[in-house]
Structure 1
Amino acid sequence: MPAAAKRIVVCGGNGFLGSRICKSAISRGWDVTSISRSGEPKWNTVTSSSAPPSWAHKVTWERANILRPATYAPLLKGADYVVHSMGILLEADYKAVVRGQESPISGLQKAFAAAPKRQQQQPANPLDRDRDGDDIRPPETGDQLTYETMNRDSAVVLAAEAARENVAAFTYVSAAAGAPVLPARYITTKREAEGIIAARFPGMRGVFFRTPIMYDSSRPITMPIAAMTGVGALFNSVTGGVLGGFMGAAGVKPLKADVVAEAIVEALDDANVKGPIEVPQIEELADKSWRKNML
């Protein structure tokens, strides 16, 4: 009797990276569920076509709210792997600019406006809420979300729900570094999430992908950004990393989104891979995945 297909749940599976993780998992014959607020992607925002690709029909596209554990917890039952591929780069809806749904000027005004005022008594660890299963603290100001809410709390609470369902491995899409134009909290909340998940759920293999800037021709705005970042990474390499701390993510080699997605699926499939995964290891894992597929 053939072994049962591995089951993966990708939170944020309809996004730029998340959709590619789903595609890679489908290519291995896995049972794939995507969780997001809107369900199936608007394909022209993540690929070069408005029509769904053939593999998309094999994904179960579910709607749930990452800030409300009760809406997604039942979907984790029986999962082997869970991925958190959600977060915010700026405390504003910068994705609307990237997708062409909002003007760059309007988006930049929002992005660099004063950050939302955070509640004074919020716990540093979202697991210290009054009751398990409670909603994560809602956004404090209008439609804006904070780094603490999305980059840290949503990941930690998802990991807690995954551990409760005895999921074997949990991947958190973190970040290689911050950047001079971003508040320090962008990267510190990522690192806080990594630390809390590793410490609180030692029985669940935690894999933390410290991804660089990602690009793909289907999202044209990412191409010049990646090109500039590539120049910065080359300069940083030639100078021995002398400006690495200042340049942040701009001093790290950019990667194609498909490379990162392949590496994530390969890491989940390898029980020896755990902990923080930096850019060189991401490339190694992707190469290993592609060699397997060529055999």
Structure 2
Amino acid sequence: MASKLIVFGGNGFLGKRICQEAVTAGYQVVSVSRSGKAPHSNELNDKQWIQEVQWTAADIFKPDSYHELLKGAHNVVHSLGILLENENYKKTLSKTPTNDSKSYLLSIGAGPNPLKKSNPYWTYEMMNKQSAVILANTFKQEILKEGKMEQAKVNERSFTYISADKGFPMIPGGYINSKREAEIEIEKMKKYFRPIIMRPGFMFDERKNAIEPRSFIHTALELLYCGNKFLLQNKLQFMNDLIRPTVSTQQVSHSILTKMKDPNFSGVVTLEEILHI
């Protein structure tokens, strides 16, 4: 019988690639999101794996809406979170940059949010930290109900949290702080499952259209990274900390599945490790 994998945020930018990788690896995959809808794609390869996933709607802040799904689950992935406390920035990333580059940068979050938040959950504390802690605790409660606490069983279960490599210039410190606080809380539950903490940097999709905003940002960051590596030869530590390599959603997904399959692994997976797995 195939192992059961639950991906919260499975129809998102990274989540859908985790689902794809898991289907390819033979997992029984369930995607949980607020809408419960499958991601839209015109690509034949995507349509094939999308049909293999169970797309389900639930509210991560309301465990009663999904705790039944966790019964018998071997692995749970939390692939939710926000870069900015502005619920419009993700919509902006799906648009094409305008000629007014300053306005465009502000719109994707390189500056203060001029809009009043309409979603009370749309904060670093709630989306990046509490949603993960609530999910991990719910998973723990289901494990306790099953009564399978022997070490061999614990090693068969994992909880993966998508954290972050570092903060970003012009992004509030609350972003990375909320990620690190969530990591600490999840690590406390290692007697129930293996915590897998992924720390990717800026992510891009290998199959995305080159005219999309993420692709422009990806290209700019890669140029900076190459310049620091070949021109400055990584001699300035503050530049090394500031300019980090980008990573594809496919690389992150592959790394997650690799660590998930290893019953002896738990802990942090750094950006460098993700890039070389």
TM-score (norm 2): 0.82
Deviations 1:149-198 (A, max 9, x none): 00000001111111222271100000001012100010010000001110
| 1:130-279 matches, cutoff 5 A | 141-143=117-119, 145-166=122-143, 168-216=157-205, 217-219=207-209, 220-237=212-229, 238-240=233-235, 242-244=237-239, 247=242, 251-279=243-271
CA contact (8 A) 1:22 1:32 kept: yes
Rounded Cα–Cα distance in structure 2 between residues aligned with 1:225 and 1:56: 28
- 1:68 and 2:62 equivalent? yes
Alignment partner of 2:181: what SS?
Answer: helix
> Are 1:38 and 2:35 matched, yes or no?
yes
Q: Answer whether contact 2:12 2:39 (CA < 8 A) is retained.
A: no
Is the Cα–Cα contact under 8 Å of residues 94 and 107 in structure 1 kept in the other structure? no
Deviation at 1:213, TM superposition (A): 0.7
Cα separation, partners in 2 of 1:75 and 1:8, compared to 1, 3 Å: same
Could you tell me how far 1:43 is from its partner in structure 2? 1.4
Residues 107, 143 of structure 1: alpha-carbon distance in 2 compared, 3 angstrom cutoff: farther
Q: Which amino acid aligns with 1:273?
A: F
**Residues 42 and 205 of structure 1, relative CA distance in 2, 3 Å threshold:** closer
Unaligned runs of 5+ in 2: 144-153
| Structure 1 SS opposite 2:7 | strand
Q: Deviations over 1:237-282 (max 9, x none)?
A: 42245224762xxx22111111111111111111122111112211
Q: Structure 1 residues 102, 161: CA separation in 2 closer, same or farther (over 3 Å shift)?
A: farther
CA contact (8 A) 2:198 2:270 kept: yes
| C-alpha contact (below 8 Å) 1:96/1:102 kept by paired residues | no
Change (3 A) 1:240 1:158: farther
The letter of the residue matching 1:213 is F
Q: Normalization by structure 1: what TM-score?
A: 0.77
* 3-state SS of paired residue (2:188): helix
Distance 1:184 1:77 in 2: 36
Alignment correspondent of 1:11: 8
Compare 177-186 and 214-223 and name the one that shifted more: 214-223
Name the count of aligned residue pairs: 252
* Structure 2 CA distance for partners of 1:83 and 1:259, relative to 1, 3 Å: same
> How far 1:235 sits from its partner (Å)?
4.4
- Given that 1:43 and 1:49 are in contact with CA atoms closer than 8 Å, whether structure 2 keeps it comes out as no
Instruction: Report if the CA contact (8 A) 1:25-1:32 is conserved.
Output: yes
Letter in 2 for 1:83: V
- 3-state DSSP class of the match of 1:232? helix
Q: 1:97 aligns with which of 92, 95, 103?
A: 92
Deviation at 1:106, TM superposition (A): 8.2
The alpha-carbon distance between structure 1 residues 110 and 28, as it changes in their structure 2 partners (threshold 3 A), is: closer
Match of 1:27 among 24, 29, 36: 24
The 8 Å contact of residues 9 and 35 in structure 1, kept in 2 or not, is answered as yes
Query: What percentage of residue pairs aligned between the two structures are identical?
Result: 33
Change (3 A) 1:273 1:235: farther
